[in-house]
Amino acid sequence: MTTPAALTPRQRQVLVLAANGHGDTSIGHAIGISRATVRRHLQGAFGVLGVRDRTQAVAVALRLGEVALGDVRVPVTSPLGPQQTREGPSVAA
């Protein structure tokens, strides 16, 4: 089994922002590049990872260690609500 080529630092940066819910325009503004350049970096990452879309790219990048789980943030308005965590409901003392 061959090891896939690594993402470039910019591909990784764009993919982390995408993983955190940012669209192309927002990513471009955040790092000072055009929307078209964001798309070019994403397409390059898709090719390196052997995937077709953002969702699969994030999943594969996480699995391969190209993106760290800690790079993906849980939104403050998580569907789990303020009184719950991933482990289940919090218990008041």
Chain segment 12-47, per-residue pLDDT in tens = 999 999 999 999 999 999 999 999 999 999 999 999
Lowest mean pLDDT among 4-8, 27-31, 71-75: 4-8
Within the chain, where are the H helices? 9-19, 24-31, 35-49, 54-64
Residue boundaries of the structural domains of the chain = 9-73
Residue 4 has pLDDT above 80, yes or no: no
CATH annotation of 9-73: 1.10.10.10
Residue 5 has pLDDT above 60, yes or no: yes
pTM for the model stands at 0.76
Other Cβ atoms less than 10 A from the Cβ of 49: the count is 22
